[in-house]
Structures are given as C-alpha cells and as structure tokens.
Chains A and B, each alone.
Chain A
Amino acid sequence: MRKVLISMVFASIVIFIAVFYDLITMKNLLLFTTVLFLILMLYYTLLTIAGLYYRTKEHKSISLEKYPSVDILIPAHNEGVVLKETLDAMVKLHYPGELNIYVLNDNSKDDTSEIAGEYDEIYHRVHHILVPPGEPKGKSRVLNYGLQISHGEYFCVYDADNQPEEEALVQLVEMAHSYTNAAGAVGYVRTLNERKNFLTRMISIEFQVFQLLMQAGRWHLFRTGSLTGTNMLVKRKVIQELGGYDPYAIAEDAELTLRITQQGFFLPIVPQSVTWEQEPETIQVYIKQRTRWLQGNLYIVEKTLTVPGYFKGKMMVHSIHQLMVYVVFWFFLVLSYVWFVLGVFDLLYISYTIPLMFIWYVSYIIYTTQLMSAQAAENSFTPRNIFTSFIMYFTYAQLFSYLFVRSLVFYIKAKKKQQVIGWDKTTRFK
C-alpha cells in the first residue's frame, strides 16, 4: 500500500513540475482528466443498459436430473437477534437434493447457541457447529473451518441475517450446473428493512444499482460476475484447488472472486435467486461496516498491484475496476475538492474554457439515471424512492470520500504497526 501511496505522490509531483515548466499545459491536463472521466461515465452507462437488458429478459428455467449435495455455511458471531428468522427461512428452502445447513457458531456470547441448538435438535438438515477459537478473527477463518467439517459437492454462504426465498438455492445450483466452466453462481441480495429510514432506503437503492451494473451488466457484457459474500454458491473442488479462503482478507468475497477469475472460471449471475438481508439502520453502524469493506478493497488493490497475473484475461475487468474506483476515481475526486477549495479562496484561477459545469451536470444525470434504472428493473418505483434517488448524489454518494480517507488512514496505520486488521461484526437490529 505504501508503494501505491508513494507512486501517487510521485505522480502528483511530476505532474506539478511538468505543468510548472510548461511541459504539459494546464489545458491538456484538464482535457486528459475530462476524457478519462467521460470514459468512466460511458462505461457505467453501457453497463446500465446491458444490465437492464439482462435483468428484464426472460430466463429459461432449467431442471436437473439429479441435484448435487450442497452445504449451506452460516458464519454466526452473536447473531441471536436475527438467527431465528434466518433459520426459519433456511428450513423452508426447497432443494430436491442432499442439503446440510451448518450454523458456524464463532464463540458467541449471546443466545446464538441456544437458538442454533434448538433447530439442530429438531431438523435433520440443521447442524450447530462450535468453531474453535483462533486467529485471525473473521469470516474467512470461520468459513475455512466450515469447509473442513462439511462434504457437499457445492457450498453456499449466507450471512446470519439473511432470509433467502424458497427457490433461491435451487436456482443457483441449476445455473451453476448449466455452465461447464462455472465455479458456482451468485444470487441477488435485497434489503429487508428498506422502509426503516432514509439510510436503509439509500442502501437498498445502492444495492439494486450494484446488482444491475456490476453484476447483471458485467455478466452480460464480459461473462464475469462477483461473489457477494452471501447468497453465493461455489464448487468445493474449485475452492480446494485455490486453497480455501484467504484468512487475512476482510472483503473475502471480492478476494475470492479475483482468484476464481484468475483460474479461468466464471461466476454466472442469477437475478431470480433472491435473499433478503438486513442493512445498517444507523450512520455509526454504516460507517463501521463500510470502513471494513473499503479496507478489504484496499487490501485487494494492494494485491492487484503487487502480485503478478492480475491483468490477464477476464481478471483485467476486475483489476481495472478496482484501480479505477479506488485509485484513479478517488485521486481525481480529491483533486477536484482541492481545486474547488483553492478556487473559493482565490488561490487558483484557470481561464481555459472547459464546460465543467455541464460535465458535472452530465455526471449527476448519469448517476441518477443508474439509480432510476435499477428501480425500473426491480419495479420498486415509489415517490419516496424517486425523491431519495434525486438527493443521493448530494448526500449518500458524498460519504464515499470520507469513508475512503478513514479506511485509508486505518489501513496505513495497521500496516505501519504490522497489525492484522480486525474483523468488525455488523450490529444487527430487531
């Protein structure tokens, strides 16, 4: 990570010197950033349209002669608040083959054991597993333990606050089986508590956009999908070949996606396989959760830049995306803030005519169009959602800069002290 930062600072200094000595004119620099920004916008517009097409087209139903055995892994650390509803949904799952549901109890201190134990006693399919204590703490280690004690042909991960729909699993399996080179399949995550407040509503819309652009659009255009951490099915053989989860990865799903893609496998997207998930209801919980996610993504950026082989074949789509969002986009975002502040205090004045105001307007329009498209695909248009979409750019989207800086500072601090970044559990709500 330090290398990345040093490179960025070095690049900034080089650019500054080049501009100062007229090697690069300010106008050309502006034009270059504008073109780069426009390419990003066009790319996301393309993904939106492809995603819309994929989401709205009819998907043929597939039926298998024999359904493979599947293990559901549910990492659970103090999940008493939500576990009953989760297990209720799990036992309702319709699956014609052998199915085992493992609640991986990671040293819970609340009533998780009691609830999981009760379901274990009643249902054949449910197994309450006590995960031995160990380091590093986190979901990856728990999942690796789950993989050790289970034997199914496939495994499917659900977070402990998830309520999959009855057909969710069977649809994942059918899709994974219909592609020879598929490592598994990825379903759709919807927000259970969308109507709770503006924050949950915004998260829900953001998730819908993610499913539409990153998942449906990218799958349709590039035949590549990303694991979502929950409602995701993977072949046991594939993860065994990859050596299991990376226990140091905080965004274990994104990290595993890269390794799966690197091996030449792909992950089909199944929009009709739906799970309902609880999202943070307070800003504090949200910041904590997103800081963890961003730190996980910084870890992947570091791997992308330091481990060879991350820019080959389909891996390039994922790697470029990581770099674009977490390096290039953020660099220009910070640059624009600095520029704005210097302009306000009259410290920097640029007289070149570039329609910056209209560029800003176009980016707002494209961003809002993506939010609306996601709602059109999901049929979730309501006056409140439309209003939320219009204000999201000025509110929710702006949180990204703060979260990124926060995550970056924590990440660098941890690296400096050679500490392992801890895995924070997201607080659940009743």
Chain B
Amino acid sequence: MVRRSISIAFVLWVFSFLFLYNSLNSVTDPVWILIFLVPPILFLVMSEKTTFLLFIAFTVISSLIILGMAFVLKWNSYTQLEWVMLHALVLVNLWSVYVLAKWSSSLSRDNKQLQNRVIELEEYIADTKLLSKREFEKQKEIIVTSMDRKKEKGFLLYIGIEKLPRRVKQTSFVKVSNVIYESVRKHFDIVGKYDDQVIVCLLQNTDEDGLAIVKNRIISRLKIIYTPEAFDKLQWNTEGIGYIDFPASKEGPQI
C-alpha cells in the first residue's frame, strides 16, 4: 500500500517538475528552475513540524501575493487562468515531495519500531542457541525464585568479547555462544545474551566445583578456536545467585 503510494507521489513529482521545467524554460533561466530540487532536500533534513508550517505558509502567502498582483495589474481571465495553472503545478510538485518525504520517514520510523519489537519478542538470538535478553531475564527470574525456595545455589557466568577486534566480534559472538551452549547441561542451565558483547550463562543447583568444571570445559573448547593472544582478551566474571548470596555485582558483570 505505502509502496504504491510512494510510487504515485514519485510519478507526480517527476511529471510536475518536467511540466514546470517546460513551462518556465522559455521565460526564465533554467538554473532558477532547479530551485524546485531544493524542497526535497529540506523536507528530508528538517523536522516534520517545521517543514509543514513552512509549507503552509508558502502556500497561503504565495497565493495571496499572486492575488495582490492580479488586483494591481488588473489581469484578465486568461492571465488569471495561466497563473492558476502555474501555481497549482508548483503546489502539486511541493505536495508530492512533501508526501514522499513524510511517507519515507514514517516508513523508516515504523521499520525501526518493528525491528525493536521483533528483537523484544524474539526468544532466541539469530544463528545461535542463545536466549534473547528478555527471554533470559524471564526464565532467570523463575529459576532463581525456585532455587531460593529449594535452598539451592548457583552461578551466573559472564563472558565478554569487548576487547576482541571489531571485525571478528560478530563471528566470535556466535562461536563463544555455541561453545557455552555445548558446555552446559542443556535441559537445566540456560545461556543468553547480556548485551551485544557479553554472553551470560546461568548454572543452577551447583557449587564452586561445578562452576569450575563448566568453566574448564568452556576454556578448553575456546582454546581450540582462539589463539592464546585472542583467548587472553576474553573477559570472565561470575556472580552468585540462589539461596546463598555471593559477593558479586548485582548490576551486571564486572568484566
């Protein structure tokens, strides 16, 4: 629907511009006609409110100025008709550009909103077995409450890839996620995205020994993938959860 509307507006804009060019070419320098290419830029750059107010002001003031000219110069019907057509053509041109700019920006705004909504609703992060932040937090809350009730303890293990070079971050995120997922108890522990550069894993009903076993498993698998220099750049942090509170950050990983 919007695509069709944009196409119609675009065709209107092109045709009205060509008509204007053709009509004004004989009476003014073609460079002046190129001024009609400025509004599209303004409409895209300026805020919607300012653009519209300017547009309305232009529409009304220009028509009143021409009306004043018609009074002063005592235009006959033919001259009036010529100016009506010219002014209408300019307005069609401006309207189509305004509508194009407005719809394009609303499309991009809607798209961004939808993307955010999809991210919010996604259970898993694409290409990984990682739970989305929202889903991880939801499941974590249930598990921690249950652990408290059963007097169990557990850990949150954070692994950060922040210090890795920018170009390899995307692949590293997937790799590290998969290694963690393969190293934990699949139907018991959960792995999720903490943020764009940190992966978090919840180990339930386990002690320090259990944590060390999982950690070693992850380290040995990561060492197969990464060079020692790259491996040293990975950041680790743990936080105790469940029945007994461990001294660790409550706001997130201190990586």
Contacts and interface: CB of A to CB of B under 8 A. Distances in A.
Interface in B127-144: none
Interface residues of B, number: 33
Interface string A361-383: 11001100100110010010111
A355 B60 contact: no
B56 to A, nearest CB: 6
Interface stretch (B26-34, B63-71, B230-238, B241-249): B63-71
For the residues of A in contact with B, the DSSP-based class is helix
Contact of A358 (B56, B80, B91, B99): B80
Interface residues of A, number: 25
Contact of A376 (B5, B52, B76, B77): B52
Contacts of B99: 381, 386
Nearest to B83: A358
Q: Which of A45, A355, A381 has the most CB of B within 10 A?
A: A355
Given A56-B49, A355-B75, A382-B5, A48 B56 contact: yes
A49 interface: yes
A90 interface: no
Contacts of B52: 52, 373, 376
Given A361-B63, A386-B99, A373 B49 contact: no
Contact of A357 (B5, B53, B81, B88): B81
A358 B60 contact: no
Nearest to B102: A381
A355 B71 contact: yes
B60 A369 contact: yes
A13 interface: no
Nearest to B64: A362
Contacts of A361: 63, 80, 84, 87-88
A369 B59 contact: yes
Nearest to B84: A361
B149 interface: no
Q: Which of B75, B84, B106 has the most CB of A within 10 A?
A: B84
Contacts of B56: 48-49, 52, 369, 373
A358 B70 contact: yes
Contact of A383 (B5, B63, B64): B5
A365 B63 contact: yes
A202 to B, nearest CB: 19
Contacts of B166: none
A16 to B, nearest CB: 26
Given A362-B67, A365-B91, A383-B8, A357 B80 contact: yes
Interface in A390-416: none
B167 interface: no
A366 B70 contact: no
A303 to B, nearest CB: 34
A52 B60 CA distance: 14
Contacts of B117: none
Nearest to A359: B67
Per CB-CB distance, the 3 closest pairs between chain A and chain B, nearest first, are A355-B70, A353-B74, A357-B80
20 contacts: A49-B57, A52-B56, A353-B76, A355-B71, A357-B80, A358-B83, A359-B67, A361-B84, A361-B87, A362-B64, A365-B63, A366-B60, A366-B63, A369-B59, A372-B95, A376-B52, A379-B106, A381-B102, A383-B4, A386-B99
Interface of A: 45, 48-49, 52-53, 56, 353-355, 357-359, 361-362, 365-366, 369, 372-373, 376, 379, 381-383, 386
